[in-house]
Structure 1
Amino acid sequence: METSHSSDLDLFDRRILDAVATNGRISVTDLAEIVGLTKTPCQVRLKRLISEGYIEGFRAVLNPQKLGLDHVAFTEVTLSDTREAALQEFNAAVKKIREIEECHMIAGRFDYLLKVRTASISRYRLVLGEKISNLPHVSNTSTSVVMQSVKEKGM
């Protein structure tokens, strides 16, 4: 089975993606009007974009400040072992820590960059000491604390 690529998308597909990325709850009628199609072709395109994996799902975007999760830190993680089995073990374990919003393998002076969201610096310290530092093969961590988020969750 061939995989689809962004070069396979036309202007209408891109408009649909832009619109649903901004408002995942938009009705097909409103979406069709925005992108310049009638309802049926718009709905067919939307279903195709979902089935081909361009749209992975729809979810609510929560306000972390309202939930008392004001503290964001980026944690650089260096592993003691970077063979494939160790990487897979680390990857599986990191997915189980709720406070880790994002985890990226990095080509550079450390192995992973984690985005960690907690209620406070003291709560972050506990997550770092009790959870992150105990992940498989972690040899070293370094933390940068966010002072202000200028842009998040956008394309």
Structure 2
Amino acid sequence: MQKVRDLDDIDRRILRALRKQARLTNNELAEMVGLSPSPCWTRARRLEEAGFIENYVAVLNQAKLGLGDTVIIEVTLDRHDEDEIQKFGEALAELPEVLEAYLTTGEYDYFIKVAVDGTAGYERFLRERLYKVPGIRHSRSSFALKCLKREFSPMP
């Protein structure tokens, strides 16, 4: 299994360029990183096969989709047995408003990021979706006022 320490400067440049713009053509990418197209293509495929590149995605505009607000929800479950944690995680994965969900340590069991349409949309999400998932003991929510930084991958 290849590790980050096995990456050379060219591999890192390829990852940084694709992190910013995944739709680069191979020729554009090769020019940016200082390689000819054939070795650049080979390296990019090797990075994919080694798992450094998991996927290529389109980032959609949340506000244009009518979901202009982001809410961070912390949730504590009633029980913490393996079955309950598994079921809750699977239920979260099915909710379309959920952008990210993490099982965490500390006072709360889960950290959930959701996209909603204002307070009315959030109230609907709670009543019609989240609170129908069994096992929730307590939740705490915060509306994000402004996104100060948004990245989807760490910098290689």
When normalised by structure 2's length, the TM-score is 0.93
* 2: CA distance, partners of 1:32 / 1:96: 39
**Other-structure match for 1:40:** 38
**Other-structure match for 1:17:** 15
**Other-structure match for 1:141:** 139
| Structure 2 unmatched runs, 5+ | none
* 2: CA distance, partners of 1:83 / 1:64: 35
1:115 and 2:118 are equivalent in the alignment: no
Per-residue displacement from partner, 1:39-94 (whole Å, max 9, x unpaired)? 11110010011111111111111111122211110000001111211111111111
**Other-structure match for 1:6:** 4
- Asked if the contact 1:73–1:143 (Cα under 8 Å) also holds between the matched residues in 2, the reply is yes
Shift of 1:130: 2.2
Given residue 117 of structure 1, which amino acid in structure 2 is its aligned partner? A
**Other-structure match for 2:127:** 129
- Asked if the contact 1:133–1:141 (Cα under 8 Å) also holds between the matched residues in 2, the reply is no
Given residue 149 of structure 1, which amino acid in structure 2 is its aligned partner? C
Shift of 1:134: 2.1
| Structure 1 unmatched runs, 5+ | none
**Other-structure match for 1:75:** 73
**Residue 94 of structure 2: SS of its match in structure 1?**
coil
**Residue 133 of structure 1: SS of its match in structure 2?**
helix
Per-residue displacement from partner, 1:74-118 (whole Å, max 9, x unpaired)? 000001111211111111111000000000111111000000101
Aligned residues: CA RMSD:
1.2
* 2: CA distance, partners of 1:135 / 1:38: 53
**Residue 74 of structure 2: SS of its match in structure 1?**
strand
Choose which of 90, 102, 109 in structure 2 pairs with 1:92: 90
* 2: CA distance, partners of 1:87 / 1:136: 11
Task: Give the 4+ runs in structure 1 shifted more than 6 A.
Answer: none
* 1: CA distance, partners of 2:88 / 2:36: 48
* 1: CA distance, partners of 2:118 / 2:84: 31
Identity percentage over the alignment? 35
Single out whichever of 100-109 and 130-139 deviates more from structure 2: 130-139
Single out whichever of 58-67 and 72-81 deviates more from structure 2: 58-67
**Residue 87 of structure 2: SS of its match in structure 1?**
helix
